[in-house]
Amino acid sequence: MPHASTASSAMTGTALVTGGGSGIGRAVAVALAAAGMRVVVTGRTEETLAHTVKEIRAAGGTASHVLADVTVGDEVARAVRTVADRYGSLDVAVNNAGLPSWGLAADVPPQEWDQVLGVNVTGTWLCMKYEIEQMLRQRRGSIVNVSSRIGAHMRVTHQSAYASSKAAVSTLTRSAAREYIAHGIRINAVSPGPTDTAMAVWPGETPADRDTRVAREIPAGRLARPEEIAAAVVWLASPAAAYVVGHDLVVDGGLSA
Ligand SMILES: NC(=O)c1ccc[n+]([C@@H]2O[C@H](COP(=O)([O-])OP(=O)(O)OC[C@H]3O[C@@H](n4cnc5c(N)ncnc54)[C@H](OP(=O)(O)O)[C@@H]3O)[C@@H](O)[C@H]2O)c1
């Protein structure tokens, strides 16, 4: 796939990226800004969000941040309102905030189950709810949810809570896509495979252990770079994908092929 900035040079307007302070979210924010969009990043940590904003501005882009916990409806609503008030519209929303979880199904502590489902499913749904309300007023918009190859596409042991949450994100994406395309709102997902962020290191592993594991497991022989996931997100969000609706694009180096 070509670099995001060349694939989507026609992008305009404002994008909101949740979990935009780190990993895939930061790469998506940087790529959307490079493609020509104003970007607002959200998350719970001011310092990491400010770092993303600084990186975008240093490259000549326009960016700002707003603090929001995706599990708190009022905070999500405020974040969406802030984007619309600050820049006039919400054209692209990337719902990327997520949490991992490890453990056999019967061993997952109930509190952890609630937390993972709360952030990954309810958080994604709350973001979509307020983004869609804004996009309905505009009669246009594009939403990309960051799901996972684990869930709808493949199952592995010790990740049932995470897999359940991401299967729900993939299904929510496709259901809502059918509901809103007639209103001008295009909804898709990207389902990454193991990607070089903090989340891809399993408990008890060193980064070197992780590299050995993925070289064995992944047909491509390596992790994805966050920028490679971002390129897929930007393409789906862009006018180049205008007729792509309810797609869940797996980007996993052949793992689930
Ligand atoms: N890395 C992988 O191998 C991989 C593979 C498949 C899918 N994914 C998905 O990709 C997405 C990004 O993950 P990543 O790998 O980039 O890991 P990451 O660097 O840990 O990013 C997760 C982001 O989510 C934010 N977040 C977590 N809970 C939140 C909450 N309650 N409210 C708002 N923001 C919250 C975090 O920011 P704060 O903590 O500052 O709020 C952080 O910026 C996730 O949805 C993940 O499931 C990752």
Measured in Å, residue 146 CA sits from the centre of ligand 1 at: 9
Segment 136-188, tens digit of pLDDT: 999 999 999 999 999 999 999 999 999 999 999 999 999 999 999 999 999 99
What does the pLDDT read at residue 4? Answer: 40
Mutate to test the pocket of ligand 1, among 16, 24, 102, 169 (most ligand atoms within 8 A of CB): 24
CB of 254 closer than 8 Å to CB of 196: no
Which residues contact ligand 1 via a Cβ below 6 A? 18-19, 21-25, 43-45, 48, 69-71, 96-99, 119, 123, 146, 148, 192, 194-195, 197-200
Helix-strand-coil split of the chain, %, nearest 5: 50, 15, 35
Q: Quick one: DSSP state of residue 91? A: -
- Where would I find the H helices in 191-238? 207-217, 226-237
pLDDT tens-digit series, residues 31-86: 999 999 999 999 999 999 999 999 999 999 999 999 999 999 999 999 999 999 99
The answer to pTM > 0.85 is yes
Contacts of 220 (CB under 8 A, 6+ apart): 253, 254
Residue 146 CB neighbours (<10 A): 30
**Are 20 and 27 a contacting pair, CB within 8 Å?**
no
The pLDDT score that the predictor gives to residue 168 is: 98
Tell me the fold of 4-218+227-248.
Rossmann fold (3.40.50)
Active site residue 87: no
Q: How far is the CA of 189 from the centre of ligand 1 (A)?
A: 15
The reported pLDDT for the residue numbered 5 is 41
The dihedral built from the CA positions of residue 123, 125, 128 and 130, taken in this order, carries a sign that is negative
